[in-house]
Amino acid sequence: MTTERIRRHRHPDATREALIRAATELFALRGFDGATIDEIATKAGANKALISYYFRGKRGLYTAILQSTLEVAVARLRALAESPRSPADLLREFIASFHQMATIDRPYFPALVLREVVTSGKAFNDTVAPQIIALLQSIRAIIERGVREGVFRPVDPLLAHLSIIGSLLFFYATEPPRRRLAAQGRLPVSLPSPDEFVRHIQEMVIRGLAQDRSSGETVVRDRGEHQ
């Protein structure tokens, strides 16, 4: 038994986390059916029997990945929604927090979610659905406070939620193939960095939600200046 295996054997939390990280990557790359228990266990450096012990099988592990990551996102967003800071600052921080999760904490999670959505969406069951609803409710709370304070215009909270989350998921999920195309010289434009995207989406969201304080003609001209 290797030193790493011994360490994980002695620390159940480390073993559980290793299985989650390994499975997240493999599920994102190959889908639920394409990733095998043997491959997940080997990548995690753990006994495959522990997948049944900790998660009651591969399906339980898959659901646990979605649930654990969404729980982190929900906790962060709820804390922001309860903050007295300006709604614009809170949305900017949430986008930056998502960037942290998608690049460091759970880099394969965006691709995993998109793959799940376009294949079946079966994992968005009673276990995961409350986390998704909680995300929507927190974003809604921030936007509605912005509307009450006169800094945001009235918008449909579900459309705002889909616009923010959808943009973030798509950017990070498509980062690897985009970089491959750039390395091959096949992209007709320069490749933006994740940091540049974060700043871009922050400004796009805040400007898009901002209460109009000028004529429609001026708004159209301002948008044209930033294209």
Chain segment 129-185, per-residue pLDDT in tens: 888 888 899 999 999 999 999 999 999 988 999 999 999 999 999 988 888 998 888
Query: Does the structure show a pLDDT above 90 at 114?
Result: no
Domains along the chain? 1-55 (1.10.10.60), 65-225 (1.10.357.10)
Give the pLDDT of residue 132. Answer: 86
Q: Across the chain, what does the average pLDDT equal?
A: 84
Query: Does the structure show a pLDDT above 70 at 198?
Result: yes
Token pair 């898959």 in the structure block, residue: 62
Contact call for residues 25 and 31 (beta carbons, < 8 A)? no
